[in-house]
Amino acid sequence: MARTWSGGLVVIMQKELLLEILSEEIPSRFHRNALTNSVSLFTKILNEYGASFSSVDSYISSRRLVLVVKYLIKKMENVFEEKRGPRVTAPERAIAGFLSANGKEESDLIERDGYYYLNIEIRSESITELLPRIIGDFILKMPWPKSMRWYLEDQKMLSAFWVRPIRSILCIYDEIPLDTFIESVGITTCDYTYGHRFLSSGQIKVSDFDDYASKLEQNYVFLNYHKKISVVSNELLQRAAEIGLHVSYDEELLEEVAGLVEYPFVRVGTIDEEFMSLPPAVLSTAMKVHQKYFTMTYPDLILAPFYGAITNVPGTGSMFEGMNRVLRARLSDAVFFYKEDTDVTLEAFAQRLSNIVFQENLGTMAQKVDRMMSIANSKDEHRAVALCKADLLTQMVGEFPELQGTIGEIYAKVQDESANVSRAIGEHHKPTGANDGLPDSFTGSRISFFDKLDTLVGLLGIGITPSGSKDPFALRRSALCIIRLLCDSEYNILEEDNLSWYITTLITAFSEQGVALSSDTLESVQRFLIGRLKVYMIDKLSIPQEAVESVISSFDSFDFNYKDAVARAKKIGSLNENPRFSIIKEALKRALGIIGKDGLQDLDERGFNFMSPHMENLKNHINVFGQSGDESKLFEEIVKISEIILETCDNVLIHDPDPEMRRRNLGLLNRFVKLVKSNVGVA
């Protein structure tokens, strides 16, 4: 379909672009981000080239990244550029040359400001002419956590960076193949792809995305990443149910194995009985880390001697025997590590922590433990702190770093430490991020807080701070975990002390160890935590920024209850949706403006008789606030008082010439401010 447009012809057609970049295996941990990053980048590039389209979708498998653009067109407009020529007084020969060079007649000349001009038509490039550059730009700019270059034999040069060496590029636009050479990777685009590496052979010619997706599935390639995850999960559950078992759900492992295969085949294998005596966490981790196997349990959640495995090809008897043989070797190692470790006490391991450097400028892990001791309180806390890092010296954690803490808890139980101490050792790594579970015990919550706060104080104190997207020491994550412990835990982990006391005590402990932190460390840590608290409330809890800023700015110092601050911000955020909340904010703004920089007057005006009927009315309403006992009416009561405040400020000179009357007036406004702060959460 075509129609005339002012300035030229616009071609409007429903056209599809299919782009597949086939490479060597893409690490599965890159898949999820690659889906979103590729769509975002390709959309940006298309917009930069002036393309019009309805949608960009991406698909990923172990060897291919695919982009599909619907209704992709390029406006074919007549674009004119005004070109200046010679002066009107120039010789005729110069003017004729100007016309000849641009293919124009004398009648085309435009005279302005003493010069001749011509309108020169510039042809707009079609989408097919732009696609080679679009593809080249995409390859050059696509972000990967890690990428590589490879040698292009024909061009005698290194390729552009990509996650893994590219083997082919399929590009079809409007069912017509694009045949162009992408110089940066030394590949000519084509209209064919390849199926499963082992279950399919030869080239597969395709015409559009529907044809492409259908033929790939016929050739054992699941293109839809999320569908493949669902297929793997459902098949595992079904195979386990057939033998009366459950599969331990592990989203991380599920995504990893789905990314490793192009077409999943599920196999249930057996675990030799001799290995079932291993602690469940050790057995599950050994299978997950080394073999990518899923743990299976009985209905009562007791570990069963079976595992679920995902393979890229149908299994054979010899293949399954090989899988079992490798698993036996891995689990034999785990049994050996476990026996060797449990022959040594955690206390003995802890005595060797001085051999592990925590950070080159902050001393050893033993010194970190000593600093944590300075803020510990109870007997159980001191014992848990003393042993919480001991498992770093064990062979089991050396083999499986992800078991830090868990191994410490297991060994503590074996060595008859108290249940509270053992549990705290296991929980002190929690949470590890925004979505990880919190410690279930008070002692575990406290030890986790000590550990993360010591890290934050030390690193910020020696000038290590995150910069832009770079945060090599994960300080933002440490701060977020501290905030979650302060805000989301059911326990008051600060007990009777404030946050500044813990920070100051740690600064002193560093000093006693000969580590000099900067003089502004206390304020730096406090500001950093409050900054992350804001991000947590806005991004994670979806509290409006205005409500967050209002609550944080209402505090006179860095020491406030983080949990209460979150509750207040949530309350303000919900009230912001009520149109009558603006009355409270306006009244509060007026009151604070009148009180001024001299601060609030701490007076009780309940029994004072004001001469002004406005002030007397205000006092009476404040005096009876909340006496109905109906919390649902509090908001409307504050709105009513706010309306009275606005009326009073319009009709009464609050700063009365009489000093005593001025104090009384300001004191009443002060009571209003405090009332709003304590019941609405903003001041």
Which positions of the chain have pLDDT values less than 70? Answer: 1-14, 75-80, 121-124, 597-607, 629, 631-632, 681-683
In a domain? residue 438 = yes
**What is the pLDDT at residue 591?**
87
Farthest CA pair distance, the chain: 107
In a domain? residue 36 = yes
C-alpha angle 338-440-283 in degrees, rounded to nearest 5: 25
3-state DSSP percent of the chain in helix, strand and coil, to 5: 50, 15, 35
In a domain? residue 558 = yes
Residues near 526 by beta carbon (within 8 Å), at least 6 away in sequence: 499, 500, 503, 558
In a domain? residue 572 = no
Which residues span the domain enclosing 202?
8-74+127-218
Handedness of CA 571, 574, 576, 579 (dihedral sign): negative
Of 517, 542, 566, at which residue does a domain stop? 566
In a domain? residue 351 = no
Distance from C-alpha of 470 to C-alpha of 22, rounded to nearest angstrom: 31
Of 506, 531, 566, at which residue does a domain stop? 566
| Residue 49 shares a structural domain with residue 133 | yes
In a domain? residue 571 = no
| Residue 36 shares a structural domain with residue 90 | no
| Residue 214 shares a structural domain with residue 263 | no
Instruction: Answer yes or no: are the C-beta atoms of 372 and 386 closer than 8 Å.
Output: no
Number of C-beta neighbours around residue 26 at 10 A: 21
Distance from C-alpha of 279 to C-alpha of 259, rounded to nearest angstrom: 29
In a domain? residue 486 = yes
**What is the pLDDT at residue 606?**
65
Distance from C-alpha of 218 to C-alpha of 227, rounded to nearest angstrom: 15
Instruction: Answer yes or no: are the C-beta atoms of 90 and 115 closer than 8 Å.
Output: no
| Residue 189 shares a structural domain with residue 213 | yes
| Residue 412 shares a structural domain with residue 338 | no
Angle at which helices 634-651 and 613-623 pack, to 10 degrees? Answer: 160
| Residue 132 shares a structural domain with residue 197 | yes
Q: Token digits for 16?
A: 């599809």
User: For residue 657, what are the CA distances in angstroms to 355, 608, 653?
Assistant: 73, 18, 9
| Residue 316 shares a structural domain with residue 369 | no
Question: How many domains are there within the chain?
Answer: 5
| Residue 26 shares a structural domain with residue 84 | no
- Domain with residue 51: its CATH number is 3.30.70.260
| Residue 585 shares a structural domain with residue 501 | no
Distance from C-alpha of 50 to C-alpha of 182, rounded to nearest angstrom: 21
| Residue 588 shares a structural domain with residue 642 | yes
Q: Dihedral (C-alpha) 108, 113, 115, 119: value to the nearest 10 degrees?
A: -40
| Residue 375 shares a structural domain with residue 412 | yes
In a domain? residue 347 = no
431 preceded by cis ω (within 30°)? yes
Instruction: Answer yes or no: are the C-beta atoms of 35 and 42 closer than 8 Å.
Output: no
Distance from C-alpha of 303 to C-alpha of 288, rounded to nearest angstrom: 14
Number of C-beta neighbours around residue 1 at 10 A: 6
**What is the pLDDT at residue 81?**
73
Distance from C-alpha of 262 to C-alpha of 313, rounded to nearest angstrom: 9
Of 191, 218, 245, at which residue does a domain stop? 218
| Residue 510 shares a structural domain with residue 585 | no
Instruction: Answer yes or no: are the C-beta atoms of 615 and 662 closer than 8 Å.
Output: no
